Structure 1
Amino acid sequence: MKSAVSFALALALAVTAAPVLAQDKSDKDAPAEKVVPQVVTTRHSGVFGGQKVNYTATIGETILSAEDGTQKAAVVTTAYIKEPRDPNRPVTFLFNGGPGSGSVWLMMGAFGPMRVAIPSDARDDGSPPYPIVPNPDCLLDVTDIVFIDPPGTGFSHLIGKTEGKEYYGVTADAKAVAEVIRRWLGDNGRWNSPKYLGGESYGTTRSAAVANQLVNTTYNDVALNGIILMSTVLDFAAGADTAGNELSYITNLPSMAATAFYHGKTSSPSVEQIVEEARQWAMGPYAAALFKGQKLSPEERASIRKQLSHFTGLSETYLESADLRVTPDRFYKELLRDRGVTVGRLDSRYTGKDYDSAGESPDNDPSFYGIDAAYTAAVNSWERDSLGFKTNREYQSISGIGRDWDWRIGGRDANAYLNVAPYLGQALREDSQLRIFVGQGYYDFATPFFATEYALSRTGIPQDRIQFHYYHAGHMMYVRDEDRHKLAADVREFIRAR
């Protein structure tokens, strides 16, 4: 009897489940519903660079599709265009980094018409509401601006069954952004406009890779007037804190010297002077000592240890224990251990309080958690409420797509030496009027300025059309009011000088 009841129950379950299974299969095989791109335009006015400018703000989705028409991704752009429109006016395409970061930082911090006002003196942003104020440093007086959120960042997203590997990688991401730029130029009648491309952090890596797509390889038909690099990372070996890589100790040293100077752990007439002294010493005696490894004599070791203590502000005892090699992570914790605080990675002017002072590395980065809430609140408020973009998606200020990033370029395997600086060298060699702007913060350990100088001084990269600018802040130098003004003025001059 028991087996009969069990059989009947199993049969009943199988019969009732059959239509559900059929429905599941039907749903799975059904074609995905087409995404209708949302485009919203509003009219505004502001004073930028001392000039009153009437402009439109257009936030909208560009749909990227496969050759068979299958929709693959929706890429959101936010374009600010001066009215009346001028097809010969410069246009600048900007994005942030990550990979996985939306364009919130450059748009709401540096170059957009509105910005979020946070403390300028390396204090944390506190709690909302955060002031969203007009930004006189916006570049609309000299160029139209298009902020791009690549797939997986901001409000941009993959569609249907699209897999991340189709867009999450150095080259795949660059191809997508290049396509969005070409589409925007065509849709807005701007093919003959002077064109500028710019990014921050990984956005500089993206800038080189996108320039390679537009100028060197896939399209080979979009000439650029300038490339704007802010907090630059091109040669990934120069900043790779990996055992056995001596180069990163050299390229990080001037940033350590600047930070030690800022916090009163070493002396010098100015940050510029101690940075220059650290550059020269790092390239000379320190590099030679590191390359000698265990063949370094006791006398040389003592001399190096003493000078290293001067530049880093760390004790000779600690430096001896670290074998004359201090990783940034250790430096953040050790520099101000006697004060019970750590320094930031993105901006080492910031300090934070850890759970205790005994650890080897910080609990978190105070220069990131000190600003992230304000920027996320501001971009959501501005784009949803002021610009009228309607979506139930979360804005991805920093998404997790970097974990799945394909770092291979040029067909090389995953262990290849990643360096996109040669893309810029080729672009410069093949366009006699292309120029590059480089902006770096003294207190940035995410993309150390000396590593950038190293990457852009390699063979094959013309030096006469690269200009460097330095700021007394960190990775997002525009969080400091004085440096936001200077950055805007420097970029304005760069664009006007075409």
Structure 2
Amino acid sequence: MFARTLAAVAALSLALPASAADEDKSRAAPEAPEAYVPNSAAKTFTGTFGGRTVRYTATVEEQVLKGEDGAAKAAIVTSAYIAEPRDPSRPVTFLFNGGPGSGSVWLQMGAFGPKRVAIPSDAKDDGGPPYPILDNPDSLLDVTDLVFIDPVGTGFSHTIGDTKGSEYWGVTKDAKSVAQVIRQWLDKNGRWNSPKFLGGESYGTTRSAAVVNELEGEYNDVALNGVILISTVLDFGAGAETEGAELGYVTTLPSMAATALYHGKATAPSVSQFVEDARRFAIGPYASFLLKGQNASAAERAAILPELARFTGLSPDYLERADLRVTSGRFYKELLRDRGLTVGRLDSRYTGTDYDSAGETPDNDPSFYGIDGGYAAAINAWMRDDIGYVTDQRYVTIGNVGPWDWKLAGGRDSNAYLTVAPYLGKAMRENSDLRIFVGQGWYDFATPFFAAEYALSRTGFPQDRIEYKYYDAGHMMYVRDEDRRKLSQDVRAFIRAR
């Protein structure tokens, strides 16, 4: 079964390496730390973005992290797209993906970079190469310079010499290294007084919150104008599917409703209205029923069952056997079992065919294997062939980090219930200009939209500075052409409104 705690945390995860030691060895550069020379490549292009023609320089380069003794320990690769002539008054936006263990390929070649890979927009498999690599008019280069960051163990980034990857693999360790890279990039490029935005997708939203804490949590801070959260996971307790935990059933139900409607297992005038009804049912009668556990009355159970069947598209008999609590993994397998199909986790519009129709959970996620080939080919072709970045390193699209250290600073209680959301609330209270953009797909089970709403509506968040936008796709909503354009327009407006 896809355990939801791990599923949400590793929203784009594949198999981990055999051991951390093996991974450290495979990703370490051969040069001695004291002799290490950073790798880089740059080339100037022209493109039209947001209706405006922009001449820009693409620079792929290693940002070297050093120890207290001055020796090089790791090289984090950034891909920067800077409009020419250079203007320090322009905003600069730092972006990364998630995993943990995912390179920035997805946001870079799918949403905001100057080039994009064209894969099917209608939730179909991307098949085999060649994949068209096109100019991306939806890039944000007309309103902001862009810096994509690949943390250690992702993309072309790697450790140096005897440094172990485990020194960078953890919520706080990773955030410190990314914050250090941002500071170094600002130093080198003279951009300390530029308007600044930070953005991430999936675990990248977790990273965003932790990086904000590193950037703004001390006196020598890097103040931000905005944080862009795409497919958000901040509160891991809210999505945990473990015995005795009930909140995950509440936060997932509206995503089940949207999926049931999409596949014709429910009826409603619109997805927005249906999920709003599902929200009200989930946080009201359903939550009350779940919290009572075995103390819920037979009358309450009888009232909940038909509504749960209506929203999930599952039969009352199945729901009874599941004790009116359906995990996401079971839902993927059961919803379309009568058609011999499963639905995707990252994007439940996608369907797949398993080895057979028995069993409780799918063999794999059709919404991931339906897109991965095109993105891997595109990032390597763009960086190596077009920009001219020469390296023996393998571009890691996803995987290859771990074990991950999930501990947060603050003592035992901070880790008994894992959430990084308070980092953002504190930053907003202490920075009156800091705003948050939240973009969510209706069909995303890796980071359900209702769980994001729950996390950001807790005490301590100025609600008037949080903006929500919703899309008719899943976790990577930009794979759908209409939603890529809408996401671009929404984020562009968010940046302009600073």
Q: Work out whether the TM-score is over 0.5.
A: yes
Report Cα offsets for 1:239-279 as digits up to 9, x if no partner: 11111110000000000000000000000000001000000
Q: Which residue of 2 aligns with 1:47?
A: 48
Q: Which residue of 1 aligns with 2:244?
A: 244
Paired residue type of 2:61: G
Distance in 2 (CA, whole Å) between partners of 1:325 and 1:171 is: 34
Range 298-307 or range 432-441, more displaced: 298-307
Q: Which residue of 2 aligns with 1:348?
A: 348
Q: Which residue of 2 aligns with 1:167?
A: 168
Report Cα offsets for 1:438-491 as digits up to 9, x if no partner: 000000000000000000000111111000000000000000000000000000
How far is the alpha carbon of 1:165 from its aligned partner?
2.2
Distance in 2 (CA, whole Å) between partners of 1:145 and 1:323 is: 49
Report Cα offsets for 1:292-324 as digits up to 9, x if no partner: 111111121111111000000000000000000
Q: Which residue of 2 aligns with 1:108?
A: 109
How far is the alpha carbon of 1:416 from its aligned partner?
2.4
Q: Which residue of 1 aligns with 2:432?
A: 432
Q: Which residue of 2 aligns with 1:181?
A: 182
Distance in 2 (CA, whole Å) between partners of 1:98 and 1:107 is: 15
Q: Which residue of 2 aligns with 1:81?
A: 82
> Does the alignment pair 1:61 with 2:76?
no
How far is the alpha carbon of 1:411 from its aligned partner?
4.5
How far is the alpha carbon of 1:171 from its aligned partner?
0.5
Paired residue type of 2:125: D
Q: Which residue of 2 aligns with 1:333?
A: 333
Distance in 1 (CA, whole Å) between partners of 2:231 and 2:397 is: 18
- Partner of 2:380: helix, strand, or coil? helix
**Are the structure 2 counterparts of residues 164 and 308 from structure 1 closer, same or farther at C-alpha, using a change threshold of 3 Å?**
same
**Are the structure 2 counterparts of residues 404 and 372 from structure 1 closer, same or farther at C-alpha, using a change threshold of 3 Å?**
same
How far is the alpha carbon of 1:172 from its aligned partner?
0.6
The answer as to whether partners of 2:346 and 2:475 remain within 8 angstroms in 1 is yes
TM-score (norm: length of structure 1): 0.92
The answer as to whether partners of 1:408 and 1:416 remain within 8 angstroms in 2 is no
- Partner of 2:478: helix, strand, or coil? helix
- Partner of 1:404: helix, strand, or coil? coil
Distance in 1 (CA, whole Å) between partners of 2:35 and 2:239 is: 43
The answer as to whether partners of 1:170 and 1:407 remain within 8 angstroms in 2 is yes
The answer as to whether partners of 1:477 and 1:484 remain within 8 angstroms in 2 is yes
Report Cα offsets for 1:81-120 as digits up to 9, x if no partner: 0001101100000000000000000000000000000000
Report Cα offsets for 1:209-235 as digits up to 9, x if no partner: 000000014x64211000000000000
Report Cα offsets for 1:107-166 as digits up to 9, x if no partner: 000000000000000001010010000000000000000000011110000111111221
The answer as to whether partners of 1:213 and 1:220 remain within 8 angstroms in 2 is no
Paired residue type of 2:180: E
1:469-484 alignment runs, 5 A limit: 469-484=469-484
How far is the alpha carbon of 1:363 from its aligned partner?
0.1
Range 295-304 or range 378-387, more displaced: 295-304
Paired residue type of 2:104: S
Q: Which residue of 2 aligns with 1:487?
A: 487
> Does the alignment pair 1:36 with 2:37?
yes
Structure 1 stretches lacking a partner, 5+ long: 1-29
Q: Which has the higher contact order (CA 8 A, sep 6+)?
A: 2
Q: Which residue of 2 aligns with 1:389?
A: 389
Paired residue type of 1:475: H
Distance in 1 (CA, whole Å) between partners of 2:239 and 2:36 is: 41
How far is the alpha carbon of 1:32 from its aligned partner?
5.0
Q: Which residue of 1 aligns with 2:408?
A: 409
Distance in 1 (CA, whole Å) between partners of 2:323 and 2:231 is: 29
How far is the alpha carbon of 1:400 from its aligned partner?
2.6
**Are the structure 2 counterparts of residues 468 and 48 from structure 1 closer, same or farther at C-alpha, using a change threshold of 3 Å?**
same
1:149-164 alignment runs, 5 A limit: 149-164=150-165
Distance in 1 (CA, whole Å) between partners of 2:193 and 2:395 is: 33
Distance in 2 (CA, whole Å) between partners of 1:31 and 1:481 is: 46
Q: Which residue of 2 aligns with 1:444?
A: 444
Distance in 1 (CA, whole Å) between partners of 2:81 and 2:451 is: 33
The answer as to whether partners of 2:118 and 2:133 remain within 8 angstroms in 1 is yes
> Does the alignment pair 1:304 with 2:304?
yes
Distance in 1 (CA, whole Å) between partners of 2:491 and 2:371 is: 24
How far is the alpha carbon of 1:349 from its aligned partner?
0.1
Paired residue type of 2:400: G
Paired residue type of 1:406: D
The answer as to whether partners of 2:168 and 2:174 remain within 8 angstroms in 1 is yes
Q: Which residue of 2 aligns with 1:361?
A: 361
Paired residue type of 2:132: P
Report Cα offsets for 1:369-389 as digits up to 9, x if no partner: 000011011001101111111
1:283-302 alignment runs, 5 A limit: 283-302=283-302
Paired residue type of 1:304: I
- Partner of 1:464: helix, strand, or coil? helix
**Are the structure 2 counterparts of residues 415 and 221 from structure 1 closer, same or farther at C-alpha, using a change threshold of 3 Å?**
closer
Paired residue type of 2:381: S
How far is the alpha carbon of 1:79 from its aligned partner?
0.3
Distance in 1 (CA, whole Å) between partners of 2:427 and 2:65 is: 26
Larger Rg, first or second structure (1 or 2): 1
Distance in 2 (CA, whole Å) between partners of 1:463 and 1:236 is: 21
- Partner of 1:228: helix, strand, or coil? strand
Distance in 1 (CA, whole Å) between partners of 2:242 and 2:476 is: 25
Q: Which residue of 1 aligns with 2:8?
A: none
Structure 2 stretches lacking a partner, 5+ long: 1-30
Distance in 2 (CA, whole Å) between partners of 1:44 and 1:56 is: 6
Paired residue type of 1:117: A
Q: Which residue of 1 aligns with 2:231?
A: 231
How far is the alpha carbon of 1:34 from its aligned partner?
2.3
**Percent identity among equivalent residues?**
71
Q: Which residue of 1 aligns with 2:10?
A: none
How far is the alpha carbon of 1:415 from its aligned partner?
5.2
TM-score (norm: length of structure 2): 0.92
Report the aligned-residue RMSD.
1.2
- Partner of 2:464: helix, strand, or coil? coil
Distance in 1 (CA, whole Å) between partners of 2:437 and 2:415 is: 30
**Are the structure 2 counterparts of residues 153 and 412 from structure 1 closer, same or farther at C-alpha, using a change threshold of 3 Å?**
farther
How far is the alpha carbon of 1:412 from its aligned partner?
3.6
The answer as to whether partners of 2:43 and 2:387 remain within 8 angstroms in 1 is yes
The answer as to whether partners of 1:48 and 1:139 remain within 8 angstroms in 2 is yes
Q: Which residue of 1 aligns with 2:468?
A: 468
The answer as to whether partners of 2:33 and 2:71 remain within 8 angstroms in 1 is no
Q: Which residue of 2 aligns with 1:212?
A: 213
Distance in 2 (CA, whole Å) between partners of 1:113 and 1:47 is: 9
How far is the alpha carbon of 1:399 from its aligned partner?
1.9
